[in-house]
Amino acid sequence: KPMKIAILPGDGIGPEVMNEALKILRVLQDQDVSFQTTINILPWNSEYYLENGRMMPENGLAILSDYDAILFGAIGDERVPDPITIWELIMPIRKKFKQYVNLRPVKNLNGIQTPLFNQDQHIDFVIIRENAEGEYSNSGGRLYEGTQDELAVQNTIITRKGTEKIAKYAFEYARKTAGRKVTSATKSNAVIHSMKLWDEVVAGVAKEYPDIQLEKNYIDALSAYFVQRPDTFDVVVASNLFGDILSDLGSALVGGLGLSPSANINPEKEYPSMFEPVHGSAPNIAGTGKANPIAQIWSTALMVEHLGREDLATLIVNSIEDVLSEGEVLTPDLGGNGSTFQLGDAISNKLSER
Ligand code: NAI
Ligand code: MG
């Protein structure tokens, strides 16, 4: 039975890089009779908002719940306020579909020279960010507004259940990928209630995984270690805010936004998971053919992996690395003068040769 995939290209460079991801799915479809997909493109973007006054139809989430996975481009348009595009499209999907794991690989692909490191330093780890609670809550408020005594309270919600689920996911992931170590980002020396609970729960889960080492680092020190010894991590587990910040740092370590993929996962597979590049709609280069499609193509590989085909996901990433190593068609962010579709073509051609 074919996998049903919802495609949300979005705005700006979103549809441009999505076209290249669709080429990859087409190659898989043509070559592997056991991996069949039904693809529907849903035009829910800023244009749709300007016509309909909403980012998606009223029954949008019900429509999406029928799919096995969602492949997302990027959203954002100067004619629509950012809080609307994000809070009325991406956030409802993450929340409704209980995508409480945000997974971001930090891997120095073959063929990418970063200014910071030599190629001998092998950077290959994942950040597993708690995606549903933590510091990003709407609990809190402001008092004495406009007066000298004004104050704001922003509550962090760390729950035993939520932390247990993300910690288990991290340890399971380490075991599955032959990782030796899980690094937990914390700040329990200063944030004494929420982060203490986080530490206790993570340590409790670690006991069930004697084969995997638990390393606990304070977030400030950990940020420095990311720069000083990025080759020593396997799996990094972090709360919502810490994970958000570490992800961008990780992305910068290995070549930048044009390369960085992400997955919003509902591990129970009760609902569809969503795969998207870390970058936004990049209005400054939209329409110029300069967008790097690799982040979108790699996100597609994460989706294929989630759908049970790790073998095909590896082939996609290998194809990306081959094209990068040859270095003949690179987009401007990688120092070349190739276009979005030339780079996408090169990768899908490589894939079809495999
Ligand atoms: P951005 O990620 O769109 O762009 C930041 C910089 O990176 C720009 O210079 C851009 O040209 C470059 N860049 C991004 N993706 C690239 C790619 N694939 N290839 C080459 N260069 C690339 O972030 P920015 O400018 O802060 O936001 C633009 C819009 O995107 C805003 O409306 C924002 O709200 C939205 N946004 C949406 C996200 C999403 O859909 N999940 C995530 C981040 C931002
Ligand atoms: Mg972020």
Residue 108 in any domain: the answer is no
Residue 209 in any domain: the answer is yes
Same domain, 204 and 244: yes
Q: Rounded distance, CA 321 to CA 297, Å?
A: 12
Q: Rounded to the nearest whole angstrom, what is the distance from the C-alpha of residue 204 to the centroid of ligand 1?
A: 39
Query: Shortest CA distance to 291 belongs to which of 301, 299, 300, 280?
Result: 280
Same domain, 191 and 146: yes
Predicted pLDDT of residue 118: 61
Neighbouring residues of 81: CB distance < 8 A, sequence distance ≥ 6: none
Q: Rounded distance, CA 111 to CA 143, Å?
A: 54
Predicted pLDDT of residue 119: 58
Q: Rounded distance, CA 338 to CA 315, Å?
A: 23
Per-residue pLDDT of the chain (354 residues; tens, 9 = 90+): 899 999 999 999 999 999 999 999 999 999 877 899 999 999 999 999 999 999 999 999 999 999 999 999 999 999 999 889 988 999 899 999 999 999 999 999 988 877 666 656 789 999 999 999 999 888 999 999 999 999 999 999 999 999 999 999 999 999 999 889 999 999 999 999 999 999 999 999 999 999 999 999 999 999 999 999 999 999 999 999 999 999 999 999 998 899 999 999 999 999 999 999 999 999 999 999 999 999 999 999 999 999 999 999 999 999 999 999 999 999 999 999 999 999 999 999 999 998
Q: Rounded to the nearest whole angstrom, what is the distance from the C-alpha of residue 244 to the centroid of ligand 2?
A: 5
CATH of the domain at 17: 3.40.718.10
Domain termination residue (choose one: 223, 253, 283): 253
Q: Rounded to the nearest whole angstrom, what is the distance from the C-alpha of residue 256 to the centroid of ligand 2?
A: 13
Residue 274 in any domain: the answer is yes
Same domain, 58 and 126: no
Predicted pLDDT of residue 33: 78
Domain termination residue (choose one: 253, 277, 310): 253
Same domain, 15 and 91: yes
Which residues form the pocket of ligand 1, taking CB atoms under 6 Å from any ligand atom? 13, 17, 74-76, 82, 90, 257-258, 276, 279-285, 291-292, 295, 333
Starting at the edge strand found earlier in the chain, the sheet holding 273-277 runs 37-41, 3-10, 69-74, 273-277, 261-265, 101-107, 124-130, 235-238, 181-186, 213-218
Q: Rounded distance, CA 174 to CA 236, Å?
A: 10
Q: Rounded distance, CA 253 to CA 166, Å?
A: 24
Q: Rounded to the nearest whole angstrom, what is the distance from the C-alpha of residue 318 to the centroid of ligand 2?
A: 27
- The answer, yes or no, to whether ipTM is higher than 0.95 is yes
SS3 content of the chain, % helix, strand, coil (to 5): 45, 20, 35
Strands 181-186 and 235-238: parallel
Residue 109 in any domain: the answer is no
Q: What is the pTM of this model?
A: 0.94
Pocket test for ligand 1, best of 91, 93, 279 (most atoms within 8 A of CB): 279
In degrees, rounded to 5, the angle at the alpha carbon of residue 37 between the alpha carbons of residues 348 and 286 is: 50
Residue type at position 199 = D
Same domain, 82 and 41: yes
Query: Shortest CA distance to 65 belongs to which of 306, 271, 314?
Result: 271
Task: Output the six-digit token pair for 220.
Answer: 């400030």
Domain termination residue (choose one: 253, 287, 321): 253
Same domain, 230 and 335: no
Predicted pLDDT of residue 179: 85
Same domain, 216 and 315: no
Q: Residue 14: which domain range? A: 1-103+262-354
Residue 335 in any domain: the answer is yes
Same domain, 205 and 92: no
Residue 331 in any domain: the answer is yes
Same domain, 271 and 353: yes
CA-nearest residue for atom 23, ligand 1, is 280
Domain count across the chain: 2
Same domain, 246 and 273: no
Predicted pLDDT of residue 255: 87
Same domain, 96 and 139: no
Residue type at position 7 = I
Same domain, 216 and 340: no
Task: Output the six-digit token pair for 255.
Answer: 């070549």
Q: Rounded distance, CA 314 to CA 203, Å?
A: 32
